[in-house]
Amino acid sequence: MAAAQKLYPRGTVKRIVKAHSNRSVSKNADILIFLDYMLFMQELMREASIQSRKSGEKNISANTVRKVTEKTLRKFQG
């Protein structure tokens, strides 16, 4: 897996969420948020790869990602 020495910058994630929500984030909640983000990325890339495969592209193109983004975001609406 991606068990590099650092998976993600915790401070940054915290700041992002804090900025968007105007609320402070408790000490370890950012881990879960990032977990959710990983799930989102997984879903996004899955959808994108499916989409690109359907359209016969070899690589995932930016347009494919853009097409799939809204669908995936809607799936991740709480």
Partner 1 sequence: MSTSTPNARGRRSPFGTATPSGETTLTGLQRLPIHTRYPLTPSRLVTATTPGTQRSASRYTPRPRGVGAPATPHVIRARQQRAANTPGRDRRRSGRVQRETTFDILRNLGKALAPVSQPIRSSPQEKPEPIEEPIDEFEQLDNEPEIERPRLSLPIQESEEEGDEVSPEMNPPRMSLAFAEEDMDMTYRSVEYPRDASVRDRDRLSMMSRATGRISGDFDETRLESDDADETGIVGEDDEAEDTMMSGGDFDRGGETEDLGRFHFDLNFPSPAAAPLEYPADEDMNDMEGFELSTAEQPQAPSDDDDDDVGGDFGFGLEFPPAASPSESPGIVGGGLRDEAIPAQRKQKKISRHGIPVPNLPAGVVKKLATRFARSGAGSRAKINKATLAAIEQASSWYFEQASQDLAAYSKHAGRKTIDESDVTTLLRRQRHINKTTTVFSLAQKHLPKELQQDMRLSMPP
Positions touching partner 1 (CB under 8 A) are: 1-4, 7-9, 12-13, 15-29, 31-42, 44-46, 48-51, 53-55, 58-67, 69-78
Q: Report the chain's C-alpha Rg in angstroms.
A: 15
DSSP symbol at 18: H
CB of 27 to partner 1, least distance (A): 6
Considering the complex, what minimum distance in angstroms separates the CB of residue 28 from partner 1?
4
CB of 77 to partner 1, least distance (A): 6
Residue with the two structure tokens 């499916």: 50
Instruction: Count CB-CB contacts under 10 A for residue 44.
Output: 19
Query: Are the C-beta atoms of residues 77 and 61 closer than 8 Å to each other?
Result: no
